[in-house]
Amino acid sequence: NTFLIGGASNSTTSDLTIVSGFRGPGSTLSFTSGNGSLAATLSVSPPLGYEGWTAMCFSVMFRGQYNASTQGCINMNISADAKPIISATAPDFQVSAVGFRLREGQELRAIINGFKPAEEDNVTVFLRSELDGANSFVPITSGNNASSLFTYTPPRAESGMTQQACFAARGSQGALRVQEEAVTCLSVEIERCVWTVKEGESLLTLAQDLGMSWLQLWNYNKGLLQQPDKDLKTGDGIKVGQPYQVQMGDSLYNIAERFSTTVARLVALNADLKASTDLALGQRICVSFDSCASNIV
């Protein structure tokens, strides 16, 4: 910050000078005088560690003499430069402040906002981590309340996964401020057991991709599809299996045997699983079974 300090006397023939008390590091004082007047400029840029109330006091006197004026003081409350506040909003899919849930093939359009109270500051919002399926990151507004649009369409191969996308909001750096940065990571849960119908797909082609009959796939979706294929529309969410909660002693191998399926099919339906994955009690996975061969009673 910059302060202007002035002094004057009745004599126009003597030069004035200015004296000050302790100013601390990060300040400079300059002045000019003549014809009985003085104009001074105080520039203050306190370093970190000098937060709190402080006073800077000054007197004006004739050069070479010791009779000084009454002191004038500047009281300052020095505070640390605030970090930006970063937030994300996408109402259609938001489940918490930084949590989102959608199915593969749907487009997440999240507004990433970076804010600093100082109106003269400029905030830059940027993507810190790349994410497969991230389509774009485009600035919308600038200034101390900056925002960008992040778009992300999860690929089908990530069904069942929870992905992270990290963003940073950074304030500007200058003579009177330290550059501050805030980082937040979004958690994007990609739904299990539900795919998004693409253009040109039918129950038959989807069933072929899943390794099941179209009748079995229809059975999962009778509430949605009264007439197979005729009611199926691009962009619809279609169930490709059923949720299953892991029980004591379960493994992918005995689950596959119980549902008359294969470990490979279970892994294909759950992108966060591998054949060697140890399952946790209570974990939810997606399963599909051969309705003709199942030994479930």
DSSP 158: G
Closest CA to 290 of 247, 221, 241: 241
Let me know: does 159 contact 269? Beta carbons within 8 Å. Answer: yes
3-state secondary structure (DSSP) of residue 190: strand
Question: Other CB atoms closer than 10 Å to residue 226's CB: what's the count?
Answer: 8
Helix ranges restricted to H, the chain? 203-210, 214-220, 252-258, 263-269
3-state secondary structure (DSSP) of residue 258: helix
* 177-236 pLDDT tens trace: 566 788 999 999 999 999 999 999 999 999 998 888 889 999 999 888 888 778 899 999
Question: Other CB atoms closer than 10 Å to residue 87's CB: what's the count?
Answer: 17
Positive or negative, the Cα torsion across 47, 50, 51, 52?
negative
Closest CA to 212 of 174, 242, 188, 233: 242
3-state secondary structure (DSSP) of residue 125: strand
* 54-112 pLDDT tens trace: 787 888 888 777 777 888 888 877 766 678 899 999 999 999 999 999 999 999 999 99
* CA of residue 127 relative to chain centroid, distance: 8
Let me know: does 31 contact 41? Beta carbons within 8 Å. Answer: yes
* 23-56 pLDDT tens trace: 666 677 777 887 778 788 878 776 667 777 778 7
Closest CA to 120 of 180, 45, 171: 171
Let me know: does 241 contact 220? Beta carbons within 8 Å. Answer: yes
Let me know: does 166 contact 115? Beta carbons within 8 Å. Answer: no
Task: Check residue 272 and give its pLDDT.
Answer: 93
Task: Check residue 294 and give its pLDDT.
Answer: 42
Let me know: does 258 contact 296? Beta carbons within 8 Å. Answer: yes
Task: Check residue 293 and give its pLDDT.
Answer: 44
* 106-152 pLDDT tens trace: 999 999 999 987 766 789 998 887 777 677 899 999 998 999 999 99
Q: Is the pTM of this model over 0.95?
A: no
Task: Check residue 26 and give its pLDDT.
Answer: 67
- CA 159 to CA 152: how far, in whole Å? 14
3-state secondary structure (DSSP) of residue 219: helix
On the CB side of 80, CA atoms within 13 Å amount to: 7
Which residue reads 């004591």 in tokens?
248
Let me know: does 166 contact 193? Beta carbons within 8 Å. Answer: no
Task: Check residue 25 and give its pLDDT.
Answer: 67
Closest CA to 169 of 179, 153, 182, 151: 182
- CA 286 to CA 159: how far, in whole Å? 10
